[in-house]
A and B are shown apart, each in its own frame.
Chain A
Amino acid sequence: MKRARSKDRTLLIGSWIVMSGILFAFVPRRNSRQAIVPFFFMQFLTWIFGLIVVENKLITYPRRLFFTKVNQASFTFEFFIFPATCVLFNLYYPRTTSLIRKAIYYSAYIFTLTGLEVFAKINTKTIRYMKWKWQYSFVSMWIFFYFSRLYYRWFFKEEPISSSRKKDENDTNI
């Protein structure tokens, strides 16, 4: 019992540390504004969505790290991990490649996240599916990533893909 609890804590704290490290390493300082936009946007979406999901008891998070009395939703995932992933997703999005490569890019992120979620579900008590399936996670993440792309493009007034393909632009240098 005690060991199980420490395993959950390790997973949660570990994900904070690893994610911070990844952000620190892969988000250049000059791109901090471009990073903040998808981060905040995703936070906004996941908070609402996470609360709805927990309120309707589709998922429970029996073991949480922060704000355990207040929030039944997963603060770690909704507040940090998912938005941070979304930052990387948007900064390194391959805007000028073919549709198939974009689909692969999407799947790489979403499979990784869903895989980690299923891993956490099986091995720890940080998350438990009540009326939920990993397929739902997969689809909802895909939709969220797509929304974040739309928002990012609108925010930075990116040109339509067809015209930006002609230019030889760097993904992270908008």
Chain B
Amino acid sequence: MIRISNQSNIKKLLTLYGPIVLTVGVLFVFNPRKQLRKTHMVFFFNQTITWLFILFVVEKGIIKNPLRIFKHASKANFGLVFFVFPALNTLYTVRFPEHKNNLIKLLYSSSFVVGQGIVELLLERYTELFTYVKWRWYYSFILRIVISYLSRLYGKWFFNEEIERGEP
């Protein structure tokens, strides 16, 4: 029998798997079916970045993840970092209003960054999914801005939407 976590407590189970189930629902509703390939590529890209980053940050003891799936195998929070945050970022990238004006783009981006940031803060305060040790809340905001921008650049590059510098 495959043992994924040894949490038996219902509340802990909810905290662990609730965000994942919620995100699956969100993806199911909002993800455009026609752009499945783009979604996949952007998702994988985001996953790699966030996973590498969290490994680094947890290794240095800047953030701790007391409650997590794969308790023995990895000290980094698998559910959130491997799935929830990359999935939300993917949605952001795929749904980006490319043809609207700058104000709408700005509003769209900031609502995503602020929304995710607030969720993260709430999770930090009320659950044990992660604990800031030497981390500041505004690091998260800056990081989100950078990652979402990179993810958009990557999506554009991969699918050649804007060829500014020619073929790589």
Contact = CB atoms under 8 A, between A and B. Distances in A.
A75 B55 CA distance: 10
Interface stretch (A8-16, A28-36, A87-95): A28-36
A71 interface: yes
Classify the interface of chain B: helix, strand, loop or mixed: helix
A41 B44 contact: yes
Interface stretch (B45-53, B93-101, B105-113): B45-53
A44 interface: yes
A146 to B, nearest CB: 18
Contacts of A109: none
B2 to A, nearest CB: 6
A106 to B, nearest CB: 24
B20 interface: no
Contacts of B59: 67-70
A71 B73 contact: yes
Interface residues of A, number: 29
Contacts of B48: 40, 43
Contact of B44 (A43, A54, A55, A56): A43
Contact of A36 (B47, B158, B167): B158
Interface stretch (B74-82, B131-139, B143-151): B74-82
A75 B51 CA distance: 11
Classify the interface of chain A: helix, strand, loop or mixed: helix
Interface residues of B, number: 27
Nearest to A154: B37
A55 B158 contact: no
Contacts of A55: 3-4, 70-73
B166 interface: no
Given A32-B168, A47-B82, A55-B3, A71 B74 contact: yes
Interface in B54-104: 55-56, 58-59, 70-76, 78, 82
B121 interface: no
B41 interface: yes
Contacts of A41: 44
A72 interface: yes
Interface in A61-78: 66-73, 75
Contacts of A43: 44, 47-48
A51 B168 contact: no
Interface of A: 29-30, 32-33, 36-37, 40-41, 43-44, 47-48, 50-52, 54-57, 66-73, 75, 155
6 contacts: A30-B167, A40-B47, A56-B3, A67-B59, A70-B55, A70-B59
Closest 6 A/B residue pairs (Cβ): A40-B44, A54-B73, A55-B73, A51-B73, A70-B75, A67-B55
